[in-house]
Structure 1
Amino acid sequence: TNPTNTLFAVKRLIGRRFDDSVVSKDKDMVPYKIVKADNGDAWVEVSGKKMAPPEISAKVLQKMKKTAEDYLGAEVTEAVITVPAYFNDSQRQATKDAGRIAGLDVKRIINEPTAAALAYGMDKQRGDQKVAVYDLGGGTFDISIIEIAEIEGEHQFEVLSTNGDTFLGGEDFDLRIIDHLVESFKKEQGVDLRNDPLALQRLKEAAEKAK
């Protein structure tokens, strides 16, 4: 019910400069304000307050930390955080900063396709392998080719190549559904819902449920 102060897909902004082409495209797609920080980074503005993407990501990590603690019945102080294979050093550092803000000692930042291969037990298979890992997430659709090499009984993972679309994920599916509903409503009722932020927010919630 408060679209301009409801944040989502902030991961696309983390570690990016305000004049980055991805940020420029994102500004036209989200209802909240993306602003330029004093250092040139892309930040968001919520209720008149400017916030860095790592601060927002930290809120998510704090929630995950609490969920893990509730399940384990013990305090969680350390974490390994996964990131897309294409993340650069700035994006990886910003992710690590988010973990620190959340009160976590981030032991490692590892690539998401590597984490997927580990989750599927590919480190338990003998011999060398080359594996294609597809990742359809909330904001991106990526493919990574990883090599798993067995060296003296230990498995080493290396991302050989990665590519993808930063604007082909769950959020983008939502937007397509919203566009379809808005156009249909405009044809039937003669009213353009794009001029009503609250209506668009409700359509987004409906699109997420329908998806």
Structure 2
Amino acid sequence: EIAGKIYTPQEISAKVLMKLKEDAEAFLGESVVDAVITVPAYFNDAQRKATKEAGTIAGLNVLRIINEPTSAALAYGLDKKDSEKIVVYDLGGGTFDVTVLETGDNVVEVLATGGNAFLGGDDFDNKLIDFLANEFKDETGIDLKNDVMALQRLKEAAENAKKELSSANETEINLPFITADASGPKHLVKKLTRAKFEGMI
């Protein structure tokens, strides 16, 4: 409900698709009518139909709804003539999907798909948040999880550290004035290696 009006999920999705349509038209300099929309591999038939409906509400002629891993395979292998099997890993913020596909002769066939709708980057962030909060509590006796502002700063720092460790072997988490007690302000400064982080997950 927004300003007294109730919106369906399809109407909200349609707003996003309308904006994407407008952006595509501005970039291309021409009208966009037809669309292929990708959805997570775990979407059921009702979710796929709702997504197609959102596209129609947005003014699009939805040609197909395809799995996100299939679209990745299309981008990777459509021009390849030789038949080969590929695995597409899709690790999102809250989900993890694996799809095995066969490509060749301008055809992509999904052989198998599976995943976990409750595993993703957020879980890795939470492991790091727990580690940092526990280390800080061991050092200072203060539980940062009881402080909403400190916890938010921890979440942001954990996500940034995770991203940095994708390309670096070590990062430093530096949160000055994270909290305070009777003795004064407290700072959280912690070096974290990729190996240590990988050991957590």
Fold shared by both chains (TM-score > 0.5): yes
Give yes or no for the alignment of 1:161 onto 2:112.
Answer: yes
CA distance in 2, matches of 1:101, 1:191: 51
| Higher RCO (CA 8 Å, separation ≥ 6 residues) | 1
Q: Is 1:189 aligned to 2:140, yes or no?
A: yes
Query: Which stretch of structure 1 is more off in the superposition, 136-145 or 53-62?
Result: 53-62
Partner residue in 2 for 1:30? none
- Out of 110-119 and 174-183, give the one that drifted further: 174-183
- Whether 1:177 and 2:147 are equivalent positions in the alignment is no
Q: Which runs of 4+ in 1 moved over 6 A?
A: 45-51
CA distance in 2: counterparts of 1:68 and 1:127, whole angstroms: 33
- Superposition RMSD on alpha carbons, in Å? 3.2
Structure 1 stretches lacking a partner, 5+ long: 1-44
Q: For 1:140-159, what aligned pairs fall within 5 Å after superposition? A: 140-148=95-103, 150=105, 155-159=106-110
Q: Deviations over 1:166-185 (max 9, x none)?
A: 23322222222222222233
Choose between structure 1 and 2: higher strand proportion: 2
2:81 is equivalent to residue 126 of structure 1: yes
Cα distance in 2 for partners of 1:58, 1:47 equals: 18
SS state of the match for residue 142, structure 2?
coil
Matched positions, count: 162
Counterparts in 2 of 1:74-85, with a 5 A limit?
Answer: 74-85=30-41
Which range moves more in the overlay, 80-89 or 65-74? 65-74
Percent identity among equivalent residues?
Answer: 62
- Tell me which structure has the larger Cα radius of gyration: 2
- Is residue 86 of structure 1 aligned with residue 42 of structure 2? yes
Residues 45-103 of structure 1, C-alpha deviations (whole Å, 9 max, x = no match): 89999765545544544443444344334454442211233322022123223434545
What TM-score do you get using the length of structure 1 for normalisation? Answer: 0.60
Show structure 2 runs of 5+ residues with no match.
164-201
